[in-house]
Structure 1
Amino acid sequence: MTEKDKDEVALQRFVEYIQIKTVQPEPDYDSAMKFLKNYAQELGLEYRAVTLDESRQAALLTWPSTSSTETSIVLNSHIDVVPVFEEHWMVPPFSGEIRDGKIYGRGTQDMKCVGIQYLEAIRRLKAAKYEPKRTIHCLFVPDEEIGGVRGMGKFITLDECKALNIGFVLDEGLASETDVFQVYYGDRSVLWIQFLVKGKTGHGSRLIENTAAEKAQFILNEMLKFRANEKECLEKSEATDKLIQLGNVTTVNLTKLTGGVQQNVVPDQYSLYFDCRIKPDGYDAFKEFLHDVIKRTPKENDDEVILHYVQDSGRVCITDVEKPSWWLNCFKRTCEQMKCKTNWTVFPAATDGRYLRGEGYPAIGFSPMINTPILLHDHNEYLHKDVFLHGIEIYVKLLENLTNAATDGRYLRGEGYPAIGFSPMINTPILLHDHNEYLHKDVFLHGIEIYVKLFENLTNGESAYVIQLPSGSFKSPAEAAESYLEKLEKGGAKKTRPFQVDLVSYSPSITNSKTVHVLSHSEYPASSFAFAEQSNSQMLVADNTFIALMNKLKTLRAFETRLPKMEARGTRLEYQDFVINLGTVSQSQTTKGLVLEVAYVPMDETRDGYCLIQEFLQSFLNMPKQMIQKLITEQLTATDGRYLRGEGYPAIGFSPMINTPILLHDHNEYLHKDVFLHGIEIYVKLLENLTNGESA
């Protein structure tokens, strides 16, 4: 099949999908499910209809991976579309008619295009004999346009969802009227509210006190005042596309006002209905605002003003796009490869992504439509065929990256070894697995220099942890961290970037019930054995016996599963030759303690780095010496040669034993006699050369 043939098939399937009237309130889900089942058979995908209730199913089309150990990718889209007003359309809204390259139809942007793009990207990958290392699930769910409660809201509660082993989810986004793709890492909360206000009634000719209208006017004024403030914030934004930036503010709109029975009768009650969309970090504050409005509304009795939540999605979760992750790296790499400019923001409305994020799955909303007017839910909704086809190309590259990003590092981390991926190649196009892959020689040689300095620091750095911090009047570790951060900045330390480290928790059989032990890894270069005290003066304490302990812990993976993983997160600072990590430790979103690490970085044998660290902490944080503990790094491969080199004598280490297992310090240590005797011959020749008087 030629590229042109693939494009024609993709356009044909898109039009066929548009022609299925999955329009609310009576969507034809049966026809859609048949269409998707046939599509799966055509592409060679596994197909499952997942029952949600007596009248609704979700379609799951699966491309199994070559590896059973990796988490899966879910490509989510919804089947239903919103109603239409046919009299306002240029073409029949379910025809899929193409005019001047524009494909018209309800759902062309929201979001039947994306569902077809997923599947057509898979068609192209299969045609190229590609084999994904992660399983890909294409999920088609009902009822997103009416809240998703019986669609995705139901699906995430099922065992079928849990069995997918989800690692990352792609969901819907919006078109962009510029050349910048919009990427959404969260939604706004949905809050539909009703204010029911009651008052005195009577003849319309009288001036009655304490009427419902007066209360309604006060509430309306307060809500519109809030709306005006948010609108002002939006207008001050530097962004040119206001709809995109709506995710950063809370919108309030009066959608219905009811009351009264007759022209000459003062109404005894009014109902004011508002549609409120709340920015991710504003949910609690907005609810406090609503209750404050009720409290301040003039009234004689509390039951004269009642607030009713018609729909409340609750606080929304967002996907953390600041914390490094494999899927984030893959997504950004794809955008770089496809030369896609992106803007990361909050979706102005609500999508099915909120259900997935609420369950802890990382999910972003992305619809690859640029230079396109935003027409979801509008008359004459369309998508240009070139934009549609280019979106397929983007998904091809994105799925390649998302399902082929595994490295050998996962095996090492799985055994508890700390491992990071790093290739020192900057100002270089990403060409791995691409045609004409290359690396400039200057970049290659500079990488060697980086590794030289890295190895120096990894094998010669000194670091220390504070073993006890004065608790003072701090109410929480976060408050303590903030106070110490302020002291460090006042002393001249500069923030450089956030730091985040995953820790492994281990609870010994004999321990104080308030103690959680932590196995942590410092980068300069020592490891530490620490514990967080769960008391009013929560802190982390370092233990210099960590190395000896680690030598005895041969089954680290068993410890990893006993308790949830812990995480240290905070701020990295630099002051002269010192690096400071300051923050808090949390476990299952509960703060456990405070972490403070100070490292003296330079390789300088004439100075005692540990003493310098002591002086640093004493001068900055007024800490007595006994509160600071050195981390002893046992050099397992250290020899007497280090003393000789320390005096300036050139020395190398050499034992002539080849084809021999390394058994030093092990049971049944041995050496074959032939190896031993051959070593003597080597030393004979070596000593001859060394003592033969040649010089240069």
Structure 2
Amino acid sequence: MTDESHETISLIEDEAVRITQELIRIDSTNFGDGTGPGERAAADHVMTLLQEVGLSPTLIESEPGRANVIVRLEGADRSRPGLVVHGHLDVVPANAADWSVDPFSGEIRDGMIWGRGAVDMKDMNGMILANVRHMARTGTRPPRDLVIAFFADEEAGGTYGAQWLVTHHPELFEGCDQAISEVGGYSITVPEKTTGDPVRAYLLQTAEKGFAWIRIRATGRAGHGSVPNDENAIVRLARAIDRIDAHEWPREFVASVTKLFDGVTELTGVERDDERIEEFLPLMGGARAFVAGTLQDSANLTMLDAGYKNNVIPGSAEAAIDCRFLPGHQDLMLDTIRELAGEHVELIVDKLGIALDAPTESAFVDTMREAILAEDPGAHLLPYCLSAGTDNKALRRLDIDGYGFAPLRLPADLDFAPLFHGVDERVPVDGVKFGARVLKRLLETC
């Protein structure tokens, strides 16, 4: 590598870190109820960064303050299907009192960039922008068209972001058949089966669970708190909640999970016992929580709403439930919840996101593997299923296969999954620099 190329790489790395910090410092909290600052300030900053290097991005608001930014880079071979490279600009709320640092400081401490959005996903946005700016400055044309997108509202299902754009402006993604975004491409460290030496495996998100954000509403007979009532809506709701909470969802290893486990076994020599899978999960390292969430469907109570006065029995009571289902399980999960809820309890679906399952073997997957290995020789790329969801769900409506590939080389002892939406969210500076280099290789060879 020449001195000039060293300087080029260093510039991209430094810009990725700096832009990550700048975006964290812009409060783009999404409370999920229409309140909050929105994404406009972050989108304006992205627009400036792209315009500075001569690009002509488009800013589109679905509602005032709910801003999305799109720019297309023409590829050398425009007959090939394009690639969507996307991130989201919103973040979940952060209670500053719980944090060790100001969650919107973007502070660098102990080799980490701290702040809300550090891993979800302003780090990837920084990597994307640093590389796009480099391509624009140098006149580098990607092998095929790149649609660079920064969406609003991912943290609330994409109603004002990716879902809205796919519905109202599908032409923005015309000709594209693949996409990359969060939450994959990061490393876990496992012991090599022969020597016991640590070896890194990077997890490529090829599948993700679907979600159903639902409410169950129990109805009964309203009345005075002093009068016996055997049709109490709150009691009916409580019984429904108890049945749903006690339900043991059957375990099933979908294809992407099986391939991940098989890959880890091949690397480590550790055979798994499907009846005692909990003993195998520690090999997943920082991805353990994500992987554990993909072994079965799940339904978690998140909110309650009942009553308005201590001496009044209400006529209805509601609970919100976050349901996550494996590919192919959508109808089964909703039918099961209805059955468990029982008589006098209605199921209301507020938002529904499909499960995804993209090909695990293709020329593009090979290109992602090669980009990783070029920066980390001896590493491995393994498919996995994400327990959460991404904006790839919206793009799938346009027949675009989405992958989670936000590359990060992580310390072996970093418990990575809990950082998402967690207190003291942070990302290694070296990890962001590594990701910027990998992403450069991918965008230049995709």
Same fold at TM > 0.5: yes
Contact 1:117 1:391 in 2 (8 A): yes
From the superposition, tell whether residues 89 and 281 of structure 1 become closer, same or farther in structure 2 (CA, over 3 Å): same
How many Å separate the matches in 1 of 2:237 and 2:62? 42
The amino acid across from 2:76 in the alignment is: T
Residue 329 of structure 2 corresponds to residue 311 of structure 1:
no
Contact 1:191 1:277 in 2 (8 A): yes
DSSP 3-state at the match of 1:270: strand
DSSP 3-state at the match of 1:156: helix
Aligned partner of 1:12 in structure 2 is 18
Contact 1:248 1:346 in 2 (8 A): no
Q: After TM superposition, give the deviation of residue 204 of structure 1 in Å.
A: 6.2
DSSP 3-state at the match of 1:73: strand
From the superposition, tell whether residues 198 and 17 of structure 1 become closer, same or farther in structure 2 (CA, over 3 Å): closer
Aligned partner of 2:93 in structure 1 is 83
From the superposition, tell whether residues 119 and 262 of structure 1 become closer, same or farther in structure 2 (CA, over 3 Å): closer
**Aligned pair partner of 2:395 in 356, 379, 387:** 356
How many Å separate the matches in 2 of 1:210 and 1:234? 42
Aligned partner of 1:236 in structure 2 is 277
How many Å separate the matches in 2 of 1:122 and 1:262? 57
Contact 1:184 1:365 in 2 (8 A): yes
Residue 320 of structure 2 corresponds to residue 273 of structure 1:
yes
Aligned partner of 2:178 in structure 1 is 168
Aligned partner of 1:326 in structure 2 is 363
From the superposition, tell whether residues 213 and 32 of structure 1 become closer, same or farther in structure 2 (CA, over 3 Å): closer
Q: After TM superposition, give the deviation of residue 149 of structure 1 in Å.
A: 0.8
How many Å separate the matches in 2 of 1:332 and 1:5? 24
Q: After TM superposition, give the deviation of residue 173 of structure 1 in Å.
A: 0.5
Contact 2:112 2:428 in 1 (8 A): yes
Contact 1:188 1:349 in 2 (8 A): yes
Contact 1:74 1:169 in 2 (8 A): yes
CA deviations on 1:376-434 (whole Å, 9 max, x unpaired) are 222221111111100011112222221xxxxxxxxxxxxxxxxxxxxxxxxxxxxxxxx
The amino acid across from 1:327 in the alignment is: F
DSSP 3-state at the match of 2:407: coil
Aligned partner of 2:443 in structure 1 is 399
User: Larger deviation: 121-130 or 13-22?
Assistant: 121-130
Aligned partner of 2:333 in structure 1 is 286
DSSP 3-state at the match of 2:357: coil
How many Å separate the matches in 2 of 1:53 and 1:212? 37
The amino acid across from 2:363 in the alignment is: W
Aligned partner of 1:441 in structure 2 is none
Greater relative contact order (Cα < 8 A, sep 6+): 2
**Aligned pair partner of 1:144 in 154, 162, 181:** 154
Aligned partner of 2:74 in structure 1 is 64
Q: How many residues align?
A: 392
Q: What is the 5 A alignment of 1:577-596?
A: none
The amino acid across from 1:138 in the alignment is: I
Q: What is the 5 A alignment of 1:33-44?
A: 33-44=43-54
How many Å separate the matches in 2 of 1:110 and 1:397? 22
Contact 1:125 1:396 in 2 (8 A): no
**Aligned pair partner of 1:346 in 361, 385, 391:** 385
How many Å separate the matches in 2 of 1:10 and 1:257? 41
DSSP 3-state at the match of 2:247: helix
CA deviations on 1:571-629 (whole Å, 9 max, x unpaired) are xxxxxxxxxxxxxxxxxxxxxxxxxxxxxxxxxxxxxxxxxxxxxxxxxxxxxxxxxxx
CA deviations on 1:446-490 (whole Å, 9 max, x unpaired) are xxxxxxxxxxxxxxxxxxxxxxxxxxxxxxxxxxxxxxxxxxxxx
How many Å separate the matches in 2 of 1:279 and 1:312? 13
The amino acid across from 1:360 in the alignment is: D
From the superposition, tell whether residues 59 and 126 of structure 1 become closer, same or farther in structure 2 (CA, over 3 Å): closer
Contact 2:211 2:355 in 1 (8 A): no
How many Å separate the matches in 1 of 2:227 and 2:275? 44
The amino acid across from 2:16 in the alignment is: A
The amino acid across from 2:366 in the alignment is: N
Aligned-pair identity (%): 23
From the superposition, tell whether residues 161 and 234 of structure 1 become closer, same or farther in structure 2 (CA, over 3 Å): farther
From the superposition, tell whether residues 9 and 190 of structure 1 become closer, same or farther in structure 2 (CA, over 3 Å): closer
CA deviations on 1:534-575 (whole Å, 9 max, x unpaired) are xxxxxxxxxxxxxxxxxxxxxxxxxxxxxxxxxxxxxxxxxx
**Aligned pair partner of 2:426 in 367, 379, 382:** 382
Q: After TM superposition, give the deviation of residue 34 of structure 1 in Å.
A: 3.1
Q: After TM superposition, give the deviation of residue 153 of structure 1 in Å.
A: 0.6
How many Å separate the matches in 2 of 1:70 and 1:234? 46
Contact 1:247 1:345 in 2 (8 A): no
From the superposition, tell whether residues 305 and 400 of structure 1 become closer, same or farther in structure 2 (CA, over 3 Å): same
RMSD: 3.1
Q: After TM superposition, give the deviation of residue 211 of structure 1 in Å.
A: 4.4
Contact 1:197 1:216 in 2 (8 A): yes
**Aligned pair partner of 2:298 in 251, 255, 271:** 251
Q: After TM superposition, give the deviation of residue 60 of structure 1 in Å.
A: 1.8
User: Larger deviation: 165-174 or 124-133?
Assistant: 124-133
**Aligned pair partner of 2:405 in 366, 376, 387:** 366
Q: After TM superposition, give the deviation of residue 250 of structure 1 in Å.
A: 1.3
CA deviations on 1:255-280 (whole Å, 9 max, x unpaired) are 23343556566655432332211122
User: Could you state the TM-score of these two structures normalised by the residue count of structure 2?
Assistant: 0.77
The amino acid across from 2:290 in the alignment is: L
Contact 2:216 2:319 in 1 (8 A): yes
The amino acid across from 2:362 in the alignment is: S
The amino acid across from 2:28 in the alignment is: T
Aligned partner of 1:197 in structure 2 is 218
The amino acid across from 2:432 in the alignment is: F
How many Å separate the matches in 2 of 1:311 and 1:12? 35
User: Could you state the TM-score of these two structures normalised by the residue count of structure 1?
Assistant: 0.51
DSSP 3-state at the match of 1:33: helix
DSSP 3-state at the match of 1:334: helix
Contact 1:203 1:266 in 2 (8 A): yes
